[in-house]
Amino acid sequence: MILKIKSEASDKEISDVKSWLDTNYFPYQILTRYGYSLIAIQKKFSAELADTISRLPAVEDMIDINKEYRLASLSWKKERTTFSVNGNLIGGNAINIVAGPCSVESEEQIFKVAQFLNSVGVKFIRGGAYKPRTSPYSFQGLGKEGLKLIRKAADAFGLSVVTEVIDTSLIDEIAPYADIIQVGSRNMQNFYFLKQLGKVDKPILLKRGMYARIDEWLMAAEYLLTEGQEKIIMCERGVRTFDTTVRNTMDIAAIPLVKELSHLPVWADPSHGTGIRSLVTPLSLASIAAGADGLVLEIHPNPEEALSDGMQSLYLEQFKELLVKANPVAAAVGRVLENAAKSQNENFSNNHKTIEECVE
Question: Footprint of a second copy on residues 308-337 (CB under 8 A)?
Answer: 325, 328-329, 331-333
Distance CA(163)–CA(172), nearest Å, equals: 13
Sign of the four-CA dihedral 161, 80, 2, 184? negative
Does position 43 bind a second copy by CB under 8 A? Answer: yes
Cα 331–Cα 296–Cα 100 angle in degrees, nearest 5: 120
Kindly state the number of chain residues that form the binding site for a second copy, as judged by CB under 8 A: 87
Within 77-106, which residues bind a second copy (CB under 8 A)? none
Mapped onto helix, strand or coil, the DSSP state of residue 100 is strand
Within 136-155, which residues bind a second copy (CB under 8 A)? 136-140
Among 75, 79, 192, 201, binds a second copy (CB under 8 A): 192
Strand partners, 181: 163, 204
Of 158 and 256, nearer to a second copy (C-beta) is 256
Does position 353 bind a second copy by CB under 8 A? Answer: no
Distance CA(80)–CA(332), nearest Å, equals: 21
| Candidate ranges 50-58, 63-71, 85-93, 350-358; the one touching a second copy (CB under 8 A) | 63-71
Within 215-244, which residues bind a second copy (CB under 8 A)? 215-216, 219, 222-223, 226, 239-244
Q: How far is the CB of 157 from a second copy (least distance, A)?
A: 25
Does position 200 bind a second copy by CB under 8 A? Answer: no
| Candidate ranges 67-75, 79-87, 91-99, 149-157; the one touching a second copy (CB under 8 A) | 67-75
Radius of gyration for the chain, computed over Cα atoms and rounded to the nearest angstrom: 22
Among 170, 175, 311, 358, binds a second copy (CB under 8 A): 170
Distance CA(324)–CA(342), nearest Å, equals: 15
Q: Give residues with Cβ within 8 angstroms of 242, minimum separation 6.
A: none
Does position 291 bind a second copy by CB under 8 A? Answer: yes
Of 88 and 185, nearer to a second copy (C-beta) is 185
- DSSP-derived pairing of the beta strands 36-41 and 28-33: antiparallel
Q: How far is the CB of 33 from a second copy (least distance, A)?
A: 12
Does position 135 bind a second copy by CB under 8 A? Answer: yes
Does position 134 bind a second copy by CB under 8 A? Answer: yes
Does position 75 bind a second copy by CB under 8 A? Answer: no
Does position 288 bind a second copy by CB under 8 A? Answer: yes
Of 19 and 191, nearer to a second copy (C-beta) is 191
Does position 355 bind a second copy by CB under 8 A? Answer: no
Give the length of the chain. Answer: 360
Distance CA(127)–CA(269), nearest Å, equals: 14
Q: How far is the CB of 316 from a second copy (least distance, A)?
A: 21
User: Phi then psi for 104, rounded to 5 degrees?
Assistant: -70, 125
Ramachandran assignment for 291, one of left (phi > 0), alpha (psi -120 to 50 degrees), beta (any other):
left
Q: Give residues with Cβ within 8 angstroms of 150, minimum separation 6.
A: 100, 104, 110, 125, 127, 129, 161, 163, 177
Distance CA(128)–CA(183), nearest Å, equals: 11
Q: Give residues with Cβ within 8 angstroms of 176, minimum separation 6.
A: none
Does position 65 bind a second copy by CB under 8 A? Answer: yes
Does position 1 bind a second copy by CB under 8 A? Answer: yes
Does position 267 bind a second copy by CB under 8 A? Answer: no
Q: How far is the CB of 246 from a second copy (least distance, A)?
A: 6
Q: How far is the CB of 209 from a second copy (least distance, A)?
A: 8
Q: How far is the CB of 10 from a second copy (least distance, A)?
A: 26
